[in-house]
A and B are shown apart, each in its own frame.
Chain A
Amino acid sequence: MRLIRAELLKARRRTMTWVLLTVALVLMGLSYLLIGLGMSALRGSGSDFGLGILEFPAQYATIGQFAFGIGGLLATVYVAALVGSDWNWGVLRNVVARGESRANYLLAKAAGLAIVLGIGMLIIFAAGILMVFLAGLVFNVPVSNPLRGRGLQDLAENLVLGYPVLLQRAALGFAVAVVMRSQLAGSVVGIALWLGESFLTTVLTVISIPNNLGGFIDGGIQQIGPVWYQFLPISIGGYVLNVLPGGSGLVSAAAGGGLQGLFLKPVPLELALPMVLIYLAVAIGVAIVALNRQEIV
């Protein structure tokens, strides 16, 4: 417990914590500015596509893009930096030389960072809901009552299912930073993993399009799969986010983007969520094994 408390102090006093939270909030603010502008333009033109209203739970998906999509990427970088800096500053040797168990130290670090990310997620959702109403007010767009219908349950589902995805994405940065023993390497490799997976799955999806052709003959696109690359670490989280209340049904938050959603059958939640948890556990396990074997100089 005292180790977790110490991790929280380190995170709270670290400038990067606040910088990255601000980045996520500013990006979300900008996007609500655009959404608000767009909607008021739509309403002004008199067209009626049912788009002229800021509706819940659909807005949760937008907020989720920032909490789990961009937020996930930022979390990967953030966690890699916070963990990796223990090597860069040589402070890890103090801890080991004091007789702390390496595994305990890493687990406490993971728990501390999980708390920080959880708080960050709550802040982004709270700020996001506020921004929806603000956008409604400023651009004179009606906002649906978030408490109507399933109300709070929708919000809770977003948070409860989104949180493990956020943690799993951050855990990538965690494991990479421990294995590479550097904050920079951890962050760079973390980002490279995101981009690499996104690129790979897009290419593989495009290559597999001929397999969908059978469907074209019958007059439609036939979805295939699920195929293996839908189970890659970033993509799989996308399939969890996908079924959240308000989710678009397309894998928008996944690495492969909309293309996967179009041509590939989604991975069902019953499969996707356990996979996310397995990735999370494996990442932390890999980090612990790596640290236990490391010589610290």
Chain B
Amino acid sequence: MDPLNTAPLPADHFMPRTDAPTPDLAVATRGLMKRYGRQIALTGLDMSVPTGKVYGFLGPNGSGKTTALRLLTGLLRPNAGTISLFGKPYTWHDWTRLFRVGSLIETPSFYPYLSGAENLDVLSASGPPTDKRRIDQVLEYVGMSGRAKSPIQTYSLGMKQRLGIAAAMLSDPDLLLLDEPANGLDPGGMVAMRETLRYFTAELGKTVVISSHLLHEVEMLADVVGIIDHGRLLREGPLHDLLEAAGRVRVRVAPEDMTKAAAVLREFAPDRPLYGVDSGDQAGWFTVGIAPARAAEINRALVGAGIYAAGLEPGSDLESIFLELTGRTGTVAAPPTAEPGPPPMGLPQ
């Protein structure tokens, strides 16, 4: 059986999208397919990145994020499907279109014997015409001015990563494609990157696509998210809407109040199921399908009905949506085995 079709997918996802990409999309892919030999990496990716936004590109290991970014930067040729960049169709031959794109794909790659500044110097010789003064500027951005003169082989992981981000920003691109940019960054570096990218989009109107496993990081940064698994997009949309739609609040009441509480809680999300636990040590917990921001309303309604909540947790975050969609919840409920070992990591294939 084709291992790529085992994932639960929303029914509407089997319909290819036919809407033409519009100019307000910096990147749009339609039915993008890519195989590496017999290994299928993308099975029809429909991705829409609005201009001027931070797009969080999320997916488990091996889901096809890097492959998608390689296709966008002319490193790979798609087997099928179309790409549009800045509102115009883009193929492998339109390489000058990439003058407006800055990218960091997979690990940053440099000449190890050249210094950081020299690497940016030789890089600036390719692609769009680039002012040399820009080199010092981007080194400054990523806090690498101090070590710019040392050879790359003396850099730490995070320093290489910072230089990789600098290289991506070298030619003042309109679109930044960053593949796991937070990899190896210290907390200070993460905050600085977040601020830089925010400035980039909010103030300069540029677009950022950032692939990441750090869901919390993406949650703080992204305007729009796309969740990919098995080479296809499972969900895409404004982060706020996604959290809203998938939102839920957990609330605990005394077991004897459960029936009364259920009536109150059902009012909040009449068309979503209400879960309650009526026995065991989790007894009294309800899960209500509403936006976490509305937790206080629940509390007020319960109090109005004479019920006092013993616990209240806004239950939805990007992580729970991600795990639910991708079905990779392997860390819970590992069956008891004779050999006590770590729970499975839930890798694909």
Give residues in A with beta carbon < 8 Å to B.
2-3, 5-6, 9-10, 13-15, 85, 89-91, 93-102, 105, 295-297
Contacts and interface: CB of A to CB of B under 8 A. Distances in A.
Given A3-B126, A6-B122, A295-B76, A98 B110 contact: no
Given A94-B167, A99-B96, A99-B99, A6 B126 contact: yes
A98 B98 contact: yes
Interface in B139-184: 167, 171
Interface in B111-142: 111-114, 118, 121-128
A15 B76 CA distance: 33
Interface size grouping (class) on chain B: 35 or more
A100 B127 contact: yes
Contacts of A97: 73-75, 98, 101, 103, 105
Interface string B89-108: 00000011111011101110
Contacts of B99: 98-99
B235 interface: no
27 contacts: A3-B126, A5-B125, A9-B118, A13-B113, A14-B113, A89-B110, A89-B112, A93-B73, A93-B109, A94-B109, A94-B167, A95-B126, A96-B73, A97-B73, A97-B101, A97-B103, A97-B105, A98-B102, A98-B126, A98-B171, A99-B96, A99-B127, A100-B126, A101-B95, A102-B95, A296-B76, A297-B76
A107 B128 CA distance: 17
A89 B114 CA distance: 12
A113 to B, nearest CB: 14
A15 B118 contact: no
B75 A100 contact: no
B75 A96 contact: yes
Given A97-B101, A296-B76, A2 B118 contact: no
B95 A96 contact: yes
A105 B126 contact: yes
Sorted nearest first, the 9 A-B pairs with minimum C-beta distance are A98-B127, A99-B98, A90-B109, A6-B125, A97-B73, A100-B126, A6-B122, A2-B125, A296-B75
B266 interface: no
B216 to A, nearest CB: 28
Given A10-B111, A14-B113, A98 B123 contact: yes
B109 A295 contact: no
B171 to A, nearest CB: 7
B328 interface: no
A153 to B, nearest CB: 39
A105 B122 CA distance: 12
Contacts of A15: 113
Contacts of B88: none
B122 A10 contact: yes
B213 interface: no
Nearest to B109: A90
A9 B99 CA distance: 23
B194 interface: no
A152 to B, nearest CB: 37
Given A97-B74, A99-B98, A99-B127, 19 more contacts: A3-B126, A6-B121, A6-B125, A6-B126, A10-B114, A14-B113, A89-B111, A90-B109, A91-B110, A93-B75, A93-B109, A96-B75, A97-B98, A97-B105, A98-B123, A98-B128, A101-B95, A297-B36, A297-B75
B96 to A, nearest CB: 5
Contacts of A93: 73, 75, 105, 109
A97 B101 CA distance: 8
Contacts of A2: 124-125
Contacts of B75: 93, 96-97, 295-297
Contact of B74 (A3, A13, A96, A297): A96
A297 B167 contact: no
Contacts of A10: 111, 114, 122
Nearest to B128: A99
Nearest to A90: B109
Interface in B21-79: 36, 70, 73-77
Contacts of B95: 96, 99-102
Nearest to B73: A97
Contact of A9 (B70, B109, B122, B167): B122
Contacts of B74: 96-97, 99
A94 B123 contact: yes
B222 to A, nearest CB: 22
A102 B74 CA distance: 11
B75 to A, nearest CB: 4
A10 B110 CA distance: 11
A201 to B, nearest CB: 38
A5 to B, nearest CB: 7
A158 to B, nearest CB: 34
Contacts of B70: 296-297
A93 to B, nearest CB: 6
Nearest to A95: B126
A95 B114 contact: no
Nearest to B100: A99
A228 to B, nearest CB: 38
B121 A91 contact: no
A289 to B, nearest CB: 15
